[in-house]
Chain A
Amino acid sequence: MPGFAHLHVASGYSLRYGAAQPEALVARAAELGQDALALTDRDGAYGAVAFAMACREAGISPILGADLAVAAQPGLPSAAGRGRRGARRPATPARGGVAVDPGHPRVVLLARGAAGWASLSRVISAAHLSGERGRPLMTLPMLAEHARGLVVLLGPDSDVGRAVARRRPDEAAHLLAGWQAAVGADVRIEVVSHRCAARGDRAALSSAFAARMLTFAGQRGVLAVLTNAVRHLTAAQAPVVDVLDAIRRLVPLDPRHLDRANAQGYLKSTPEMLATAAEVAAAAGLGRTAAHRLLASTGELADRCRLDPAADLGIGSVHVPELDVLFPAGAPGLGRAELSAAPASAQAQLADRVLRHRCGAALADRCTTLREHRRATERLEAELGTIATLGYGGYFLTVAEVVDIIRGMGVRVAARGSGAGSLVNYLLGISGVDPLEHGLIMERFLSPLRQALPDIDIDVESARRTEIYTRILDRFGGQRCVAVSMMETYRVRHAIRDVGAALGLPPGEIDVFAKAFPHIRARDARAALADLPELRSSGLGRLAAGGRLDGFLDLVEALDGLPRHIALHPCGVLLSDGSLLDRTPVEASWMGFPMSQFDKDAVEEMGFLKLDVLGIRMQSAMAHALDEVVRLGEDPIDLDAVPLDDPDTFAMIRTTHTLGCFQIESPGQRELIGKFAPETFGDLIVDISLFRPGPVKSDMVTPFLRARQGWAEADLLHPDLEPVLAETHGVVVFHEQVIGVIAAISGCSLAQADELRRTMGSPEGQAQVRAWFYPEALGRGYPLEVVERVWDVLRSFASFGFCKAHAAAFALPTYQSAWLKAHHPAAFLAGVLTHDPGMYPKRLILDDARNLGITVLGLDVNHSTQAYRVERCPTPAARPDLPGLPDGSPYGIRLPLTEVKGISSAEVERIVAGQPFASLSDFWRRAGVAAPVAENLVLTGGFDRLYGIDLTAGARAHGQTTRRDLLLEVADCERLSRSARPGRSRARTPAPTPGSRAGRAGSEGPPGPSDPAVAAAGQSQAPAAARPSAVQLALELPVAGAGRSSGLPEMTTGESVRAELDVLGMDVSQHVLDFYRPMLADLAVVPARELLSQRSQSEVWVAGVKVATQTPPIRSGRRVVFLTLDDSTGPIDATFFEDAQDPYAGTVFGGWLLMVRGLTRRTGPRGLSLRATGCWDLGAVHEIWQAGGRRAVAEHIAAFPTVDTRRRPAAQVVDVPVPGAGDPAASPTGPSPVGIGRTAAGGMGQRRRVLVHASGFKQSPYADVKPAGSDPAGAPPLADRASDRAQAARTQAPGKLWHASPGSSGW
């Protein structure tokens, strides 16, 4: 007997409903000897691919279906609603929002064969794309339209089941007939029993009710099937679904809101299901034959629905847009008639012809010499041959078409990834790097041996990404082109938030709890509470250690990895022929793009051709810089034509002042550059490759730098390897070199060598390759000693090198951004500030600008716009003498209105359209902004120029207007407006959203005639005087208090900075640290600029605003914390090893203004590292200093534990950090950890947990995750007035950028 087949099973992909992973369900079914299993997730087939793959692995037949909500059938009064929650949407409640579960009846659809899968996909898409987003609802006509191959199960929660429950067999029969009319005979009554009580809220899951359903089926002559409506794997998992019910409905955990009757909804064994069948049959008054019949019809349906992943789902087949879609007007070298006449079978051949034609033409253009031409032609032939063999011609043409579309829009575009290694890509204009010049090989990207589809990634300007999506979508149509989705799964912070909300914890507490954790997996919550010093010593850690959080943490950990939310993938676009919608269900994204229900991995398994169109903020920043250059009246720049050997650019890079530059601005990169001192574009490629997890993990950096600096002889292993290894002084850095070494020594082809390289990703693979490699190499006459040395290198580097093509593609924007910074620093930094591409907060970029002599120009209602703008400065700022750095002193950067807290884009548009303004009241009348926004503008100096306010000027002239006077005027204006329009407060009127009709009308044309005053002001052509006289003011302001002295003091500079932090999120007019200068001088704290002149191995003090923390992976498997501080003279980087983390990690992650004690170590001419031995909150130290001076501070510091500085840190120079997890291209090789071990630990709890990689590399589980607390790149938090003060004083006092002493009158 094959075992029972469960036909109604929800996995975690039934969002916030199912508790089990599909893989776990499959494994359990296999264990129970059930050889077929269905996955019928709610509202979609999100998990279908993962499920099908798991089934294939386990030797089980997959059955696929979906559990869909259905709309009421026409003609019946009340099909929807279950009494406790009607379908009617109630009026808006006073608080808390309306109920989110409409309680529609639900049915299960199962797919039979390829036709059924296609129908299922289309029905799911139809249900999603009609009506409201996120509330898919199937109707009978939808089902009827795609009925082929579908089976409908009508269970207790279907409209039929509900009618039976209401004891309305007549209604149930009528409804059943409706289903039969839609799909014909393929309708089953689904009998479910969780063997619960026959009375109460959930009687529909009782055997008694199941018996009624069985009887009803018998009466109507419909087959019945038995399911267990599974939603959790084991009975013990039942509490998890309760939490999910509460989370899904956004309600507190309460018996009223739970769906289950008991814990029986798990994947039951065959005997258990037989017992259920017998119980149901008995309850129906039928004998054992009835139970057998029920089981037989269930088994028979399961057999009919078994799917074959290849034949039925189409996994592994390739579909690209048809040629006549690609070339509606005919292709080069191919007439339109020929295209449309071509049969489907000839498409691939024709595509190859077109591709060859295009590449040939481009080759002729690009190659200037005959020798080049010959080499290139050979290479092209080889590549085209491979492409033709694989039948990917259409794919390349499609990508080329997309790139052409993007270029045609005037958007900056660059290729990334291994695709840059292909000459075809270069010739098609997809990639901007010449593979021949940089020694890039095609085989790393595409070879006949590769199973995986080629992957071409395109970088575009982030600001225009959606515009590009829209254009691509328009071009190919939704039948052939949809976006890829992304399933967000529970990690610790979301799990804590959702469980906390379900259990009714106060929202503020939930927030503290969640933010206390780094961004780790939910299942590691307990381990982190025990491992991490900053958590262990906190109240939470102590509560957890006492077992007092157990119930809570059990639930948090149970949610680990469950899907929680589907979103648009940041870059994936699917392109296919017209059959796309037969192969994937589609729903709408939040922005309204059609989106496949499959994520990136599923899409790859399915064999869809996916194009990554990635929005890169740096591309937008550079585009902005280029626009600014033109706007200033300077010559336009063709950035892509700039020569790659500009000496000024490399001089600037070598100073390590690379903030803002692509890929080389992080602390570790700046340190590396200081040692490396790149001189050519090739050096940049190496630099970027070295600074990757792989090279770092396998310690390539040290030998490379030693050889590069001439301290050590390059070790080329064998003369035959010189061509491969010479460029990196014998150190294996690139995948291409691994491939080259294997090919050179073993004599195999490059394609084979790449396969071998991939195989070496796992320990078993390594053994396999070794067994092959030794005989091959020895057979070719290499001595054993050489073979062994080569193998050693391969073993440790193979899985860790970096793809050179990818690095080369990256190096281009790196160089371009550095070039812009070297030649147009103001325009470049304006772009960086506008599009915020980097890892640092804007305040640090502003510092960088000031250090280059650029003036930072404050907000000005008459000059600020939507973006950071460059202005010429008549009075250049003083600039420190910095050799190698550009001089930005003729320029200033103007802050934009968009940085003002609370301002809407419509308000920004109205202000910009209304400029210039003659006065505050003029502004009030014409700009139409909310009062709080106007106040914020006043507070941050937006009207200073208009009124001649100068905070830095010492004495004020008598009668001079102050910012405070203007605040009162805003209040007057608001009062006046309110009285003019009674009943409608202007401040409370929400500004129209930018997309709304009202917003557009306001910005595009003159305002309507309804308000003549506004209309008249809008028509004014005369430029208003920049500085209105006092007379004008008095005339213009019919306000009670105008003109009289308010008696209010002007803002101090301190108050002004505080207002800037509050309103703009950054300090603009002065650096926050300026207010601590006297103390810093007294304590001999070293400014960043002077750090380099400190002696090595000396103890120094530094201080600044925290701008970044990183926890990069390092070889030892320990956690290292990199802290970057900013003190206005440049960034300071300090490293906290584990011994220093124990006492100080809490301060590092929790604080904003920090003072650090550290030990210097010189690492190169421009390299100096700081090993931290302590960290204190600057505000707290300041208080102590104010009270007791230097001596008191020394006493305070002495009370803290010391860190033994004589012990050498376990990790050294190689501990350069890698880009954060946010880097979408991070580590294309990145071997996943193969195990978790424990080693004796220093400061990290009793035993340290480590992740062990295939190469033996150990990594801390807390490396490379976003650390605890808020992101320092965001605006630092201010002491929140509304928040609990005493609480803030204790737990957040270190978390304030502002150190306010209550009652003092400011500084």
Chain B
Amino acid sequence: MSRSQITRPRAPTGLGDDDAGCPILHVDMDAFFASVEVARRPELRGRPMIVGGAGSRGVVVAATYEARRYGIHSAMPMSRALRLAPDIVIVPPDHAHYAEVSASVMEMFAAITPRVEPLSLDEAFLDVSGARLTHGSPRRIAETIRAQVFDEQGITCSVGVAPTKFVAKLASTQCKPDGLLVIPADRVISFLHPMPVGALWGVGERTEEQLHRLGLRTVGDIAHTPRATLVRALGQAAGSHLAELAWGSDVREVVPRERDRSIGAEETFARDVDDPEVVLAELLRLSEKVGARMRRAGYSGATVSIKVRFADFSTITRSRTRRVPTDVSREIFHEARALYLGLRLDRARIRLVGVRVEGVTDTDRVATQLVLGAPERGWREAEEAVDRLADRFGRGSVRPARLLPPTPPTPAAPPPGPTP
């Protein structure tokens, strides 16, 4: 990657440079985790490489563009990626490092405008309408960002500049990788209408198929279909939503990072599990983790949900709402356990479980209902003590007995699986 590429985007610019009505930027890192790995291991540059769990388990977390040429992409099972490219380089993920890189990139954004809405570690919306005076036009800002990200992190990103969020996102997708695309306000329609319907926000595989069956393949097709027809086909909400989007109208604003509305954790097992004991132990561990994070952040939540992903990647979630919000790991686990047992899983093979607490508010504002005869100090206090120990001696220094390392393995160890 050379500097010239960055200052002179490869992406189509035929739509013009008029960025006057385009205050929204969508910045998207290209193959983020993979790029970060390449940046710190230059010997991998230009080689097909994926970031993902070692062994045949797990999914591809990120793939370089070289790897994508083999048909590999993120969220694909590792075993399939290996079949497609048996000699590919695999790098185990280093989430802490990615979070660090992400944080410094986000900080860079924050220096430009306070109105930054991160969508995930590797993408964010920026509203730069207030930054014109300090940092120049949106286009100039976008170029600055691209240059800075490359300079500081050695990775490339793509930026879409447009009047609205969803058009900006479409623009960045369009110019990937390592591109910049401005969609002037008066060109939104001509940019949008040739797009396939699947590009629209909210159109998933099923809706896309439904639209195709009706002969609607492009955004333009949708735009020129009577709203009543869309409503007949898709229902009131989805029909109206698409009719709006098809004409480029998107009322969502860039909202600086909101407080977490939920806190959760999940874990993919090293191998599919059907042992309820193993699953419950994992739910306990995740509940401990979630509880600790909530207590540290000073949050409590009333709704506990669990997520179970099965061997075939189908996923279900179940939730329960307590009368009183909590931040006590034990109570979170109590709910999670009940939810899990309620599934009555017998022979199901579980790939991943997750615990999440939703409806989060500040613990200070929770009205704790006093229970007659309750001990003055309860589990909450005990867990706070454990939190302090963890701060001091490291995580896991105190933990439930159930989460101690397992007893020595049984003699009938299963034979090794395929070892790709």
Contact = CB atoms under 8 A, between A and B. Distances in A.
Nearest to B85: A539
A1075 interface: no
23 contacts: A90-B344, A96-B349, A242-B415, A252-B274, A503-B417, A505-B79, A507-B311, A507-B312, A551-B416, A554-B415, A939-B213, A964-B214, A968-B214, A968-B232, A1040-B232, A1047-B225, A1047-B229, A1049-B215, A1281-B209, A1286-B73, A1287-B71, A1287-B76, A1290-B71
**Is chain B's interface secondary structure helix, strand, loop, or mixed overall?**
loop
Interface string A72-93: 0000000000000000001111
* Most interface-central of B85, B196, B214, B233 (chain A CB within 10 A): B214
B419 interface: yes
Interface string A247-258: 001111111101
Interface residues of B, number: 68
Closest 7 CB pairs of A and B: A96-B348, A1290-B71, A504-B272, A539-B83, A552-B418, A551-B416, A1303-B196
* Most interface-central of A504, A548, A550, A1304 (chain B CB within 10 A): A504
A508 B216 contact: no
B209 A98 contact: no
B271 A252 contact: yes
B213 A967 contact: yes
Contacts of A262: 411-412
A98 B347 contact: yes
B412 A90 contact: no
Contacts of A328: none
A1305 B417 contact: no
* Most interface-central of B71, B228, B232, B344 (chain A CB within 10 A): B232
B182 to A, nearest CB: 22
B368 interface: no
B329 interface: no
B379 interface: no
Interface string A285-308: 000000000000000000000000
Contacts of A1047: 224-226, 229
B415 A239 contact: yes
B345 interface: yes
* Most interface-central of B195, B217, B224, B409 (chain A CB within 10 A): B217
B205 A1281 contact: yes
Interface string B221-257: 1001110110011000000000000000000000000
Given A506-B313, A509-B79, A96 B346 contact: yes
Given A95-B314, A1286-B73, A555 B415 contact: yes
A1050 B346 CA distance: 49
A262 B413 CA distance: 10
Contacts of B310: 95-96
B65 to A, nearest CB: 13
B198 to A, nearest CB: 8
Interface string A164-176: 0000000000000
Given A93-B343, A507-B311, A1282-B205, A254 B418 contact: no
A539 B416 contact: no
Interface in B286-325: 308, 310-314, 316
Contacts of A239: 414-415
B414 A253 contact: yes
A1304 B224 contact: no
A974 to B, nearest CB: 11
Contacts of A552: 417-418
A1043 to B, nearest CB: 12
A1041 interface: yes
A1306 B217 contact: yes
A551 B415 CA distance: 7
B414 A254 contact: yes
A261 B412 contact: yes
A250 to B, nearest CB: 6
A971 B83 contact: no
Contacts of A1291: 71, 84
A94 interface: yes
B80 A509 contact: yes
B215 A964 contact: yes
A255 B409 contact: yes
Nearest to A1293: B71
Chain A interface size range: 35 or more
Contact of A255 (B73, B82, B312, B413): B413
Given A90-B346, A96-B345, A251-B347, A539 B196 contact: no
Given A505-B418, A1051-B215, A255 B412 contact: yes
B218 interface: yes
Given A503-B417, A552-B417, A1305-B217, 6 more contacts: A95-B348, A97-B346, A256-B275, A543-B420, A1049-B215, A1291-B71
B56 interface: yes
A260 interface: yes
B86 interface: yes
B205 A971 contact: no
Interface string B12-32: 000000000000000000000
A99 interface: yes
A540 interface: yes
A506 B77 contact: yes
A512 B217 contact: no
B82 A539 contact: yes
Contact of A97 (B86, B87, B347): B347
Given A94-B316, A96-B347, A1047-B225, A260 B412 contact: yes
Interface in B23-58: 56
A98 B226 contact: no
Interface in A930-975: 935, 939, 964, 967-968, 971-972
A1041 B228 contact: yes
B369 interface: no
Contacts of A251: 274, 347, 349
B111 to A, nearest CB: 36
B233 A92 contact: no
Contacts of B56: 505
Contacts of A1282: 205
B316 to A, nearest CB: 7
Nearest to B225: A1047
A1207 to B, nearest CB: 33
A253 B409 CA distance: 14
Given A255-B410, A964-B215, A972-B232, A549 B420 contact: yes
Contacts of B68: 1286
Contacts of B419: 548-551
A100 interface: yes
B218 to A, nearest CB: 7
Contacts of A1281: 205, 208-209
